[in-house]
Amino acid sequence: MPYDPARALALLRLGVRDESAAFRDGQEEAIRHVVEGRGRLLVVQKTGWGKSSVYFIATRLLRDAGLGPALLISPLLALMRNQIDAAGRMGVRARTIHSENRDEWEAVRAEIARNDVDILLISPERLANESFRNEVLGPIAGRISLLVIDEAHCISDWGHDFRPHYRLIERMIRAMPPQLRLLGTTATANDRVIEDLASVLGPGLTISRGSLSRPSLFLQTIRLAGQAERLAWLAEQVPALPGHGVIYTLTVRDAELVAAWLRSRGIDVEAYSSETGERRAELEAALLGNRLKALVATTALGMGFDKPDLAFVVHFQTPGSVIAYYQQVGRAGRALPSAYGVLLSGAEEREITDYFIESAFPTREEVGQVLDALEAAPEGLSIPSLLERVNIRRGRVDRAIQLLSLESPSPIAKQGSRWTLTAAELGEAFWQRAERLTALRRVEQRQMQEYVDLRSDHMEFLIRALDGPPETFRPPDLPRLATTPDAALVRDAEAFLRRTNLPLEPRKMWPTGGLPRLGVTGRIAEPRQARPGKVLCVLGDAGWGAVVRDGKYRDGRFSDELVRACVKLLREWAPDPAPRWVTCVPSRRHPELVPDFARRLAAAVGLPFHPALEKTEDRPEQRAMANSAQQARNVDGSLAVTEAPMPDGPVLLVDDVVDSKWTIAVAAWLLTTRGSGPVYPLALASTAHA
């Protein structure tokens, strides 16, 4: 069909709200290529170039010509609000179906049936949903005028953000008529990824690849091993930075920690992560409207968020790959002459990125446990039932099931809520891919440490690492930021880290199948539940975490300063009604460790200590139990109330390290059943990894 350049330009100007806007290099050529049906196209352009303008304008032109709707597959639907708003200004009726808008699904389906949707945006996971394929996709499959695969690097095994469900797209493409318009877009594809995509998206794939250079970015790297030093640096530098920005952390916990610290220093920031939930849109709008100095975010605020005047991106820790870093730092300076991209490197980042690498694929032993359990249950197993039979963490079981189910042919199949074995066997190619990608992630991890050590030529390093053409790059004329934080601020940050604590939410349900030796099942009666409690720190973390770890595993005794810290925590917590006595979780392996601490704490707050619980038999340590079902069974029958009379009134229940919270749940049930008052748990540390 013919291409109308005047109409395309008018649509662009409507979308960006600028009557003088012009197409960027390659934008109009990509739109023309799609509209005229010249074959399949892969657009590889840096963040901020305007890839969404290409597919929304192309969709509008195709619909103007009477063609059917477009289908866009993207992992970023919850983060595409501003792009969808731009589409609306062009007259493109864009609708989404994803996990966060379930209440809109029926209305969207009705609009699709009436042909009132110009482009349907779905997540790749929707393709695995049989009812979606049959009820939504099936009726329009023959009329789709354009298939857009956003963040196409996710298809590739080599892509930095490999999404397993993108493998379903590869199978979908094989079944497509060769003349169907197909557009793949990505900002982060090196030569290896592009070669991979050419084999998947072809035949006859045209590749439009732009410059990787970001001339507005002033890049700097600073090693500050301790969290207190980096918190102090942020408190000193962020208020002085011009404009508004993003501070990236590797974990949810650190996003919340950094945000809390900066707010305590009077800096207007908010934490943004996968746990932000319904506030995501509100926080994005606050940053877009310059009502926040910064968002402190995990990768949940990544691809898809567009603020052209973002003035700085600071990393609290080093990401695991150059591609991930380029994607994130590239959010800054899109429509500014200069912007800062500062990477702070800390001691804990290696452990965190190791965790991400090691959790990407299940081990042979884990897959063996899963397949053996399914083989022993021909009727199939639900995930909760499977967890009772394997000593594997829930997240790793979910990952194993997901990856196995996406193999072709798959060794497992789902029937209702149960998984069963099929006749297919898991091929060796599965393990070869896992080994190859794990090795690649290790290379990327080392490459980022090389980047941290640079004193100059940061952008050149990134371009070379991404297989971009050598380019002359002159950074903007901005002053380097200080590399040493103020000593007084470091002391304040250290004090802050030791003031923080975590909530300890009680268990409210017994595990599936109950605890047979205790004789309980279903919901835990409210009077028998532990009350909401407190955890002083995360084991090994900055602040008290290292002190707790040393006391438990090195010294065999918890220090007096931990007693003082818990006294302070109790005063600030002020549970009501107040505890009238103290007891503790016993251990046969370390019989004096926790009782000794609990006695000293009781004395410090002027309460009596009573050893009301005893361990009745040896069990493996809870940390050896990988999932909640196994941990619950490990506690069942191992605790009992001593024969001594039960003291009256509310009780403070002290433990050293809490993980699954089943020990707390059983202890509280036993104490309250025998006549104690409300049970308030207090643990020195949690093993939570977020």
Given a contact cutoff of 8 angstroms between Cβ atoms, the answer to whether 1 and 65 are in contact is yes
List, as one string, the DSSP characters of 90-147.
TT--EEEESTT-GGGHHHHHHHHHTT--SEEEE-GGGGG-HHHIIIIIHHHGGG--EE
Q: Same domain, yes or no, for 551 and 617?
A: yes
Strands 294-297 and 245-248, how do they pair?
parallel
Give the per-residue pLDDT at 77: 66
Give the per-residue pLDDT at 327: 86
Q: Same domain, yes or no, for 117 and 259?
A: no
Q: Same domain, yes or no, for 459 and 396?
A: no
Query: The domain that contains 548 carries what CATH number?
Result: 3.40.50.2020
Q: Same domain, yes or no, for 515 and 652?
A: yes
Domain-embedded: residue 439 = no
Q: Same domain, yes or no, for 45 and 119?
A: yes
Give the per-residue pLDDT at 241: 97
Tokens of 322: 């150059």
Domain-embedded: residue 365 = yes
Task: Tell me: pLDDT of 169 over 90.
Answer: no
Give the per-residue pLDDT at 396: 92
Amino acid at position 276, single letter:
T
Percent of the chain with pLDDT over 90: 68
- Residues in Cβ contact with 66 at an 8 Å cutoff, skipping those fewer than 6 apart: none
**Average pLDDT of the residues in 44-63:** 92
The position carrying tokens 């989404």 is: 96
Dump pLDDT digits (tens) for 618-669: 888 877 788 888 888 889 989 999 977 889 899 999 999 998 899 999 999 9
Q: Same domain, yes or no, for 482 and 502?
A: no
Dump pLDDT digits (tens) for 364-408: 999 999 999 999 999 999 999 999 899 998 989 999 999 999 888
Domain-embedded: residue 232 = yes
Helix (H) or strand (E) holding 405: helix 394-405
Domain-embedded: residue 560 = yes
Q: How many domains does the chain have?
A: 4
- Choosing from 402, 432, 462, the residue where a domain stops is 432
Domain-embedded: residue 437 = no
- Choosing from 209, 238, 273, the residue where a domain stops is 209
Identify the band that residue 690 occupies on the pLDDT scale cut at 50, 70 and 90: very low
Q: Same domain, yes or no, for 325 and 236?
A: yes
State the average pLDDT for the chain.
91
Q: Which domain holds residue 559?
A: 498-686
Q: Same domain, yes or no, for 293 and 227?
A: yes
How many CA within 13 A on the CB side of residue 155? 28
Q: How far apart are CA 53 and CA 15, in angstroms?
A: 8
Domain-embedded: residue 493 = no
Query: The domain that contains 416 carries what CATH number?
Result: 1.10.10.10
Give the per-residue pLDDT at 412: 96
Identify the band that residue 163 occupies on the pLDDT scale cut at 50, 70 and 90: low
**Average pLDDT of the residues in 472-478:** 88
- Choosing from 190, 209, 228, the residue where a domain stops is 209
Domain-embedded: residue 263 = yes
Domain-embedded: residue 402 = yes
Q: Same domain, yes or no, for 343 and 364?
A: no
Q: Same domain, yes or no, for 105 and 157?
A: yes
Helix (H) or strand (E) holding 452: helix 428-452
Task: Identify any residues that bridge with 94 across adjacent strands, giving them in sequence order.
Answer: 119
Given a contact cutoff of 8 angstroms between Cβ atoms, the answer to whether 595 and 586 are in contact is yes
Dump pLDDT digits (tens) for 586-626: 988 889 999 999 999 999 999 999 999 999 888 888 777 88
Task: Tell me: pLDDT of 172 over 50.
Answer: yes
Query: The domain that contains 11 carries what CATH number?
Result: 3.40.50.300
Question: Which of 127-131, 248-252, 377-381 shows the lowest mean pLDDT across its residues?
Answer: 127-131
Q: How far apart are CA 248 and CA 89, in angstroms?
A: 31
Tokens of 478: 């901005």
Q: Same domain, yes or no, for 12 and 47?
A: yes
Q: Same domain, yes or no, for 472 and 329?
A: yes
Identify the band that residue 689 occupies on the pLDDT scale cut at 50, 70 and 90: low
